[in-house]
Amino acid sequence: MSRRLFGTDGVRGILNESIDPVMAMKLSMSVCTVIGEGSNILLGRDVRLGGEILELAVTAGLLNSGCRPYIAGLTPTPALQLYISRSGGFDAGLMITASHNPPEYNGIKLIMSDGIEAPREVEEEVEEVFFDEKYKKVSWNKASTSTRIVSGVNEFYVNEVVRLVDAEKIRRKGLKVVIDAANSVGSLTLPEIVRRLGGKPIIINGNLDPFMSGREPEPTVDSLKEASSVVRELRADVGVGVDGDADRAVVIDEKGTVQWGDRTAVVITPFLREKHPELPPRVYTGISSSSFIESLLKKHEISTVWLKVGSPIIARALKNEGGLLGFEENGGIMYPVHQPVRDSGAALALMMELLAMTNKNASELYSIYPRTFMVKTKVPRGNIDLSELYMELEQRFEHGQYIRVDGLKIVMDDTWVLIRPSGTEPVIRIMVESLSKEKAEEILKTVKSIIEKVSKN
């Protein structure tokens, strides 16, 4: 049996297939054992079916190992994270969510007392306790049933987000904002943020629906099609689509174009450089973000730090080394002045502030990004020798700049390509982005032929 529970961002599975209350209880007992008996642990969840069952199981496990569960109920992950880091009263948090995964999935994320997702070392400790069944169990005379409800987490979060921006200035603008809340917890905070900033929220998929029947919870061009047309037809200033636990936010400009997180970062960061001259002019992002951002940010004397894929890695680097922003192309925007984790509310407030400050349309702001062509595909991992593959690729693309933090990224003048083994599937992922469609296709063909050659060796 594999001794791994946590994927790139928590434990995930389908209820009673790959995750169940028995496992959730053992997991929470393991968490309590690692974090320490007597610890205060804040629990939150998104709207998914099974969330209440898992919450009860996790609560029982925490009590059984001698921790004190505090229940925040339905809340976005960033609201739970902010409450944990700001209140100072919690040793950890558990968020019951499967984030952007389809509605049949559920899961559990472990959050540390600083509000950031647990680093891999802590997850490994929890896994060891879990698989060796070394979790603590309290004796009968110490068994407590004391759980506390924590109310006001979402309200606290909204207040803190509104405080980040020049609310007066934004109010004068009276922005019309479309919010696609994925039928989940984003609807508990984002419309209120827009209202508090004097805007008019237009909400779609805003009812809390455990089946998440409005759209797939992952914000993509496809799943945000409806939101895009609502933005266009109702002449909104901007739109935002979130995932199931409302940490990721993908922006839609007033023309209805879905703008990825790395593009949003390019638009927001120069503005943050002016807003925060005290912060180091740096951004942090995963290797799968577009390489074009680097030269665009360099024009504003902002440097880019490339990291392994995975939001906790970006969040910790941002917190420890300091910078203006962390981000992922999938819509994770981390504003360290607020908290160094993905935060849809902060992303939305900053976008509204930018629109109010510049008096430009959203599409004008995004027009600094060149028109590019992107190809994404995957090939079976097989038993390919990765170092041999990377060597062959470097020989073939000898005029490129190589970045080797996670797979191999080759950056050329008008094109970049990323070849990276997946962490979750037995495949090698290939991403190519180019100013020329022909070149993107040609490079993809070359990369595939080299992979084929190496797999035969």
Q: Which residues bind Mg ion (CB under 5 A)?
A: 99, 243, 245, 247
End-to-end Cα separation, the chain, in angstroms: 31
User: Shortest Cβ distance from residue 412 to Mg ion (Å)?
Assistant: 33
Q: Considering beta carbons, is residue 127 or 243 the nearer one to Mg ion?
A: 243
Considering 99, 289, 290, 311, which one is annotated as catalytic? 99
Q: State yes or no: is 99 an active-site residue.
A: yes
User: Shortest Cβ distance from residue 402 to Mg ion (Å)?
Assistant: 31
Measured torsion, CA atoms of residues 350, 183, 222, 435, in degrees rounded to the nearest 10:
20
User: Shortest Cβ distance from residue 427 to Mg ion (Å)?
Assistant: 22
Q: Dihedral of CA 357/362/367/372: which sign?
A: positive
Q: Considering beta carbons, is residue 33 or 344 the nearer one to Mg ion?
A: 344
User: Shortest Cβ distance from residue 76 to Mg ion (Å)?
Assistant: 9
- Please provide residue 160's backbone torsions phi and psi, each rounded to the nearest 5 degrees: -65, -35
Q: Which residue is nearest to Mg ion (CB)?
A: 99
Contact 319, 360 (CB under 8 A): no
User: Shortest Cβ distance from residue 247 to Mg ion (Å)?
Assistant: 4
- Tokens 């097989």 locate to 382
Q: Considering beta carbons, is residue 109 or 319 the nearer one to Mg ion?
A: 109
Q: Going edge to edge, which strands form the sheet with 68-74?
A: 11-14, 105-112, 92-96, 40-45, 68-74, 148-149
Cα separation, 333 vs 243, whole angstroms? 13
CA distances from 72 to 81, 136, 149, 321 (A): 11, 25, 6, 31
Q: Considering beta carbons, is residue 243 or 353 the nearer one to Mg ion?
A: 243
Q: Considering beta carbons, is residue 242 or 317 the nearer one to Mg ion?
A: 242
DSSP string, 139-201: -GGG-----EE---HHHHHHHHHHTTS-HHHHHHH--EEEEE-TTTGGGGTHHHHHHHTT-EE
Q: Considering beta carbons, is residue 12 or 273 the nearer one to Mg ion?
A: 12
User: Shortest Cβ distance from residue 98 to Mg ion (Å)?
Assistant: 9
User: Shortest Cβ distance from residue 97 to Mg ion (Å)?
Assistant: 7
Q: Dihedral of CA 248/250/251/252: which sign?
A: negative
CA distances from 254 to 31, 105, 174, 265, 312 (A): 45, 33, 15, 18, 32
For the chain, the farthest-separated pair of C-alpha atoms sits apart, in whole angstroms, at 72
Q: Considering beta carbons, is residue 221 or 234 the nearer one to Mg ion?
A: 221
Residue 149 amino acid letter: I
Helix (H) or strand (E) holding 251: strand 249-252
- Tokens 């900033």 locate to 197
- Structure tokens that stand for 123 in this block: 């997850």
User: Shortest Cβ distance from residue 123 to Mg ion (Å)?
Assistant: 17
Residue 305, SS3?
strand
Contact 65, 94 (CB under 8 A): no
**Closest C-alpha to 240, from 132, 367, 348:** 348
Residues forming a β-bridge with 374: 433
User: Shortest Cβ distance from residue 245 to Mg ion (Å)?
Assistant: 4
Cα separation, 54 vs 48, whole angstroms? 10
Q: Considering beta carbons, is residue 32 or 315 the nearer one to Mg ion?
A: 315
Q: Considering beta carbons, is residue 100 or 176 the nearer one to Mg ion?
A: 100
Catalytic residue numbers, as ranges: 99
